[in-house]
Amino acid sequence: KRIDNWTRIRKEMPPAETVLKLSTDPVTLFQDVELSPQDRKMLSVIDGVKTVKEIVDSAWIGSFDGMKILYLLWSIGVLEEKKKLFEKTEPEESISLDDILQPVSEDEYAFLGKVDELYLSLSSSNDYRLLEIDEDADEETIKKSYYRLTREFHPDRSFGAPDPLLKDRLTTIFDALTDAYHHLQNKIKKAPKKERGTPAFSATEHFRNGIEGFKKGAFPAAAVSFSSAAGMDPKNAKYWSYLALSLTKVPDRIQDAESALLKAVVLEPGNADHYANLGMICVMQGNKKGARERFQKALSLDPGNNKAAKGLEKLT
């Protein structure tokens, strides 16, 4: 069972400066626990030298997801604290887990006030005011403002906050920003070509930006770039596939992810990976029947498709 309760993780995990190592208890190491590929990858970076903070900072996924994996491995006993052989004579600066995962250094109460102010103004703000841009702003300016604001007001910033309503308000703001961005994007696309000017980026450049954003964990921004690439070159199945992948990482966008992937299937009906990925999306939705059908379809196209085989095995 995966752990999503941040309060519990913060309470039970050891301090950020703790050095972790693999358990020396063979019973613990060989207990009957099914580890995911992400769990195994995390184990490969545990060297008995890195601290909790260093492991999280160097994680290939977001800080919170990295901390969840560490917590799982710690709680089942696969990892343990490495005892110090001697104490340092010089005092060490204490760093809390809140400091590690805080996305920006902005004062917490100032941020809460900013969220309240924006949330209360949503009903009276138009798309331009919401995105903090002028009405004659070009496509690139709109995109940059959207990236900045969705990063600042992303729902993930509610983790560990004292206000229980913060996540709901951030989600509402995030959705409003996304709607405003798409409205203005569609407005630009419908404008006569002579009014649009030369596109700031080609489809290939949008796709490249999406890849870079995805690697950095900026999934909403990556989704916007992939969406732009797919909009400019709608017959490219790869763009739709990557758009779907990024949308699975954005809160409440799983349905959009499925729609994007279905477009990839239409373009490449013989691609087993598309069906395997659809199966994974069905698993996320709790649709086991649909997942089984998609995995079986993938295997009928490619009997050696590892993702489909593993997905089907977990359903049985």
Residue in 152, 155, 144 with CA at minimum distance from that of residue 103: 152
Give the pLDDT of residue 161. 63
The topology under which CATH files domain 127-199 is Helix Hairpins (1.10.287)
**Does position 132 have pLDDT exceeding 60, yes or no?**
yes
Q: Does 1.10.10 match the CATH number of domain 6-100?
A: yes
**CATH topology match: 6-100 vs 127-199:** no
> pTM for the full model?
0.43
Residue in 298, 229, 309, 220 with CA at minimum distance from that of residue 265: 298
Q: Could you read off the pLDDT of 54-66 as tens digits, one per residue?
A: 887 776 666 667 7
Q: Could you read off the pLDDT of 134-158 as tens digits, one per residue?
A: 888 888 888 888 888 988 888 877 7
Cα-to-chain-centroid distance, residue 146? 17
Give the pLDDT of residue 72. 74
Give the pLDDT of residue 89. 39
Domain boundaries, the chain: 6-100, 127-199
Strand pairing category for 20-22 and 79-81: antiparallel
Q: Could you read off the pLDDT of 219-274 as tens digits, one per residue?
A: 888 888 888 889 888 999 999 999 999 998 888 889 999 999 999 999 999 999 99
